[in-house]
């Protein structure tokens, strides 16, 4: 139970900090945060992206976030700087709420590792 409380508190901190930094305080949702991580991982911060590229950015983020869990591994970075991942293990079949908890946990861990939060 204490782990769930700590995850909830850290998730709220991530949402608050990112929302203040990127959305004038309007709360960002899970997808928006995943998109921001994708942009960060690509490292091309000063450009706009087409719709299909935005989906690719979210895919990059999900792969990056789930790499520590053993689901993905960075395969290569192409000539345009886009990272490509290979699947190491199929994702388990999770209910919607379970998927959300896994992603929130992975995002919190990502921002702890990058020292955005403690």
Contact 30, 101 (CB under 8 A): no
Tens of pLDDT, residue by residue over 4-40, are: 899 999 999 999 999 999 999 899 999 999 999 999 9
What average pLDDT does the structure give for the chain? 94
Q: Is the pLDDT of residue 1 over 60?
A: no
Listed residue (47, 50, 3, 76) closest to 60, CA to CA: 76
83 DSSP assignment: E
Domains of the chain, residue spans:
2-113
Tens of pLDDT, residue by residue over 87-105, are: 999 988 888 789 999 999 9
């Amino acid at each position: 139970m204490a782990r769930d409380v700590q995850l909830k508190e850290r998730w709220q901190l991530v949402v608050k900090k990112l929302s203040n930094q990127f959305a004038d305080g309007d709360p960002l949702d899970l997808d928006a945060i995943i998109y921001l991580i994708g942009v960060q991982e690509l490292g091309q911060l000063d450009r706009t992206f087409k719709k299909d590229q935005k989906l690719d950015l979210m895919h990059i983020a999900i792969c990056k976030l789930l790499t520590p869990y053993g689901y993905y591994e960075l395969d290569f970075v192409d000539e345009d700087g886009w990272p490509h991942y290979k699947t190491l293990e199929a994702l388990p079949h999770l209910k919607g709420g379970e998927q959300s908890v896994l992603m929130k946990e992975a995002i919190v861990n990502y921002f702890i590792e990058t020292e955005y939060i403690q």
